[in-house]
Structure 1
Amino acid sequence: MKSFWLLTGATAISTAGNTFLYLAVPWALVDSTGSSLLAVLSLAAQTAPYLAAPLLGALIDRYDRRFLMAVGETTQGVCVALIPLLLAFRITGMVFVALCVMGLAKVISDVAVGYGLIPSLVPRGRLDQASSWFNSAQMTARFAGPALAGLTIASVGPLWALEVDAATFLITTLTAFLIPQVGKDGQGDRGMTSMKASLREGIAYFRSRSDLKRLTFAVALYNLGAGALEPTLLTVGVDQWNWSSTALGVAVSCGAVAAALGAWLSPMVLPGNERRHSRISIWLGAAAFGALGLLIGTPIVVVVGFCVLCFGEGGVNATTMAYRQHEIPNELSGRVNAVIRTFIMGAVPVSALMLGLTVNLSGALRVFFPVTVTALLALFVWTIQRKRLEKAPTTRLMPVSEERSM
């Protein structure tokens, strides 16, 4: 578990640095262009590359995941370091290009770490607990990050805050080379099948699993509304509530604390592998309840609703992460999880577009209405099929290379 904690600690530091990016880029775009829409769409630029995730997933299953993590983290650091220069020269289009490249690198790093490295470093019987610890650490970092980011932006401006973020990627890059190689570590498929055949295996496995498809659809629906909630809340805070960067940083930090608590408590709610479907329903329900609070016009109530939503989201993230680590074979983890993340994270740019269209409307009811609707739909989609999924036998299919039918 020593290597797991090393990896968890390093990625938590990087996550704390990334909160500077989530605050500084929208803030800087509003300052330089005066456009709230561009501020919200900056998130879409970072998440749009998830649409190419299946192709990247095939690469993740073919190569050393530690090396891929190092490449992904280094690329992200370089892109973030370039953004202040591009903003200084008001080359707004290239800022979005840098964010897209960063998004591609993040896909590789996230899938390699969450669904490749962690399952290889943790005993299988402790994956639920490890997923809880990992997600709690990331959310705790997001608690400290926004408050520090708000103070940094207020002191030195958003451009220097981005340079601080760029430096944090050096830590995770170095960590990748300190993690021992365990087993094949993503190299078992190299040279055995073509990229096309490898990609087909991942897609075929995903299509064969009704539980994974239902889970993906529900979480993608949730992200369709809530995916761009944070930058939307920040934009509303600046434009309509006239809050300072420090106040906004504290508000986002409170949401991160709630998410960390939800992730920490996730394995304690209805413990046991056989009750994981019900656990997901409970956490989706908590997120939907918080989304209802977003419709209240009072800013403080909106922030409380945001925190409750984050609490449920933290539980959902930790529970579904452990579910996928348990259910998807390691040799297919890159491809299958990349397909899943294509739908889940691919919904975020659409969320940014929807909320970008509502962010300038007056009143919380109009601005956050899409978030509430999609959160309730996600709960409905997952819960209505829960009993059927619990009764259905879990089928573990083997990859084509092992001569089993998909």
Structure 2
Amino acid sequence: MSPVALAFGVLEVTGSAAWLSAVTTTALVPMVAMLLFGGGIADRYRRDTVLCLAALGAGLTQAGVAFLLLTHRHPAFLLPLSALNGVFQGVTKPALRGIVSNLSAGRGLQQASSLLATVRNATRITGPATAGLLTASVGGGWAIAADAASFLLAAAFFARMSLPGPPARTKSSPTKSGPTMLGELREGWGYFGSTPWIWTVTSAFAVFNAVNMGVWQILGPVIASDTIGAEGWGLVLSARGAGALLASLIMVKLTVRRPMVPALSSMALAAVPLILLGAGANVSWLTAAAFAAGVVSEFFTVVWETVHNTHVPERLLSRVGAQDEFWSFLPIPLGQLSTPVLAAAFGTATVAVTGGGVAAVAMLVPLLVPTLRRLEINIEINMDGDRTGHHVPSPGDAAGEGRDKDHSGTG
């Protein structure tokens, strides 16, 4: 709900695109900057408590934004609240990546990830429409107020959870307090950097995200305005959402023993809409390609979450997940800023087609890593209730960390 409601709410008060850009950027930068620290917080403390407090903070800041919009205050007052909201979102993302293995096990890991993806995709379809109706009828401020209420409701739900406390931390010094936050963040970075099957996929998505967000979000509407029009572009975007929703429903039942090869290979198809966009394809071809891209993207997301939940030690889940998201998100602004410059120099069609080719190749490069191709997710539960199963040894196994663990999707 928030992007639509905030955009029209700010424009209603200011009529300025510059102020809208300032407000949204003020939220985005702290969110990305907070991801790494959020991973350390989520692995250091109880994740249900972290999520409850973060949702409560996000609800209160959104309520403040709603009040400022409804009372037509100067938009400068929105900036600190937007920054705080970004901080809370930066804490929330890593913690969410770490709780699935606390709530499910065995084959239930993939089913849980698929069910969460189904709800996420459904709200991506219904949320903007609901926000649009509220904004058109009673104003953007009230739509943000409804969004604030949803955060507070989420905090109430998180408060009902009772997850186990964080695993015991290995002491890095003779002090009773154990390792510092900085030491734990270094440990998470060490695991991430020494595990090729993780950092190669993250690097691939850093390229894919920069290209895809630049071409699709910046050049997409420009090209569409001269070809398929606003209505056609809306249909294409809706088709992508519908494809993602269908895939998340299918993945509740579908299990692939070694899923990374088909997941990454199919992700190359997610670059096809960029190529068709640059080639001037009609709305039918673009809609079909966007639908397929939604399917393969959500298939990869569920697989990636399940693989993380299977192979990353639980005590490192949020920190490793935060590294994954941080480095895959970081190049997005660069892609969005450089795409118009490249389009002016070489033409929008050339940039779109070339970008699609680069994104497709980026998805295939990680398949050169042997350990990634051998990753399995068929986990069983032994008589003691511990997770066991086939896995590729990764850093930490030799130290006795084993596979007690958990994650969430890239891209």
Task: Report the TM-score range of the alignment, normalised by the length of the smaller protein.
Answer: 0.7 to 0.9
Alignment root-mean-square deviation, CA: 4.0
Task: Answer with 301-310 or 328-337: which moved more.
Answer: 301-310
Calculate the TM-score normalised by the size of structure 2: 0.76
Aligned to 1:143: 125
Question: SS of the residue aligned with 1:398?
Answer: coil
Partner of 1:98: 81
- Is the deviation greater in 323-332 or in 30-39? 30-39
Residue number among 327, 332, 343 corresponding to 2:316 in the alignment: 332
For 1:318 and 1:40, the matched residues in 2 are separated by 33
Structure 2 segments unaligned to the other structure (5+ residues): 172-176, 376-390, 403-411
Give the corresponding residue for 2:394. 396
Matches for 1:5-404 after TM superposition, within 5 Å: 20-29=1-10, 32-35=14-17, 39=21, 42=24, 45-46=27-28, 49-86=31-68, 88-91=72-75, 93-115=76-98, 117-182=99-164, 184-185=165-166, 188=169, 191-227=177-213, 232=218, 243=230, 252-266=237-251, 271-272=256-257, 275-297=258-280, 300=283, 302=286, 305-354=289-338, 365=349, 372=356, 375-383=359-367, 385-387=368-370, 389-390=372-373, 394-398=392-396
Higher mean alpha-carbon deviation, 363-372 vs 51-60, is at: 363-372
1:313 to 1:391, Cα distance in 2 relative to 1, 3 A: closer
Report the more deviating stretch, 226-235 or 100-109. Answer: 226-235
How far apart, in 1, do the equivalents of 2:51 and 2:133 lie?
A: 30
Kindly tell me: are residues 167 and 99 of structure 1, through their superposed partners in 2, closer, same or farther at Cα, counting changes over 3 Å? same
Moved more, 369-378 or 279-288: 369-378
Q: Structure 2 CA distance, aligned partners of 1:68 and 1:229?
A: 36
Q: Alpha-carbon deviations, 1:247-305, whole Å to 9, x = none?
A: 98776544322212223334767711xx2221222331231223323335478465554
| Structure 1 residue 69: Cα displacement | 0.1
CA distance in 2, matches of 1:85, 1:66: 29
Q: Percent identity?
A: 20
**1: distance between equivalents of 2:279 and 2:137?**
33
Contact 1:224/1:374 (8 A) holds in 2: no
* 1:239 Cα deviation from its structure 2 partner: 8.4
Partner residue in 2 for 1:3: none
Give the letter aligned to residue 248 of structure 2.
A
AA at the equivalent of 2:300: V
The 3-state SS of whatever aligns with 1:89 is coil
SS at match of 2:143: helix
344-353 or 308-317, which deviates more: 344-353
> How far does the alpha carbon of each residue in 1:191-243 deviate from its partner, in whole angstroms, 9 at most, with x for none?
32112221121111111101111111112222223347786589769988885
Amino acid in the other structure paired with 1:180: S
TM superposition shift of 1:29? 4.9
Following TM superposition, by how much is the alpha carbon of 1:114 offset from its aligned partner in structure 2, in angstroms? 2.4
Displacement of 1:128: 2.0
Partner SS state of residue 124, structure 1: coil
Q: Check conservation: 1:61, 1:187, Cα contact below 8 A.
A: no
Alpha carbons of 1:40 and 1:315: their partners in 2 closer, same or farther (altered >3 Å)? farther
SS of aligned partner of 1:192: coil
Distance 1:367 1:391, change over 3 A: closer
Q: How far off its partner does 1:143 sit? A: 1.8
Partner amino acid, structure 2, of 1:256 = G
Residue identity in the other structure for 2:2? L
Distance 1:73 1:257 in 2: 28
So what's the TM-score if we normalise by structure 1?
A: 0.77
Matches of 1:248 and 1:64, distance apart in 2:
43
Higher helix share: 1
1:27 to 1:375, Cα distance in 2 relative to 1, 3 A: farther
Distance between the aligned counterparts of 2:139 and 2:350, measured in 1? 31
Please give the alpha-carbon distance, in whole angstroms, between the structure 1 residues aligned to 2:45 and 2:121.
29
Provide the C-alpha distance between the structure 2 equivalents of 1:386 and 1:267, rounded to a whole number of angstroms. Answer: 28
Question: How many residue pairs are counted as aligned between the two chains?
Answer: 377
- Residue 267 of structure 2 contacts residue 363 of structure 2 at CA under 8 Å; is this kept in 1? yes
Q: What is the letter of the counterpart of residue 159 of structure 2? A: F
Structure whose CA Rg is larger: 2
The one-letter amino acid of 2:356's match is T
Greater shift, 333-342 or 367-376, is seen at 367-376
2:35 and 2:322 in contact (8 A); partners too: yes
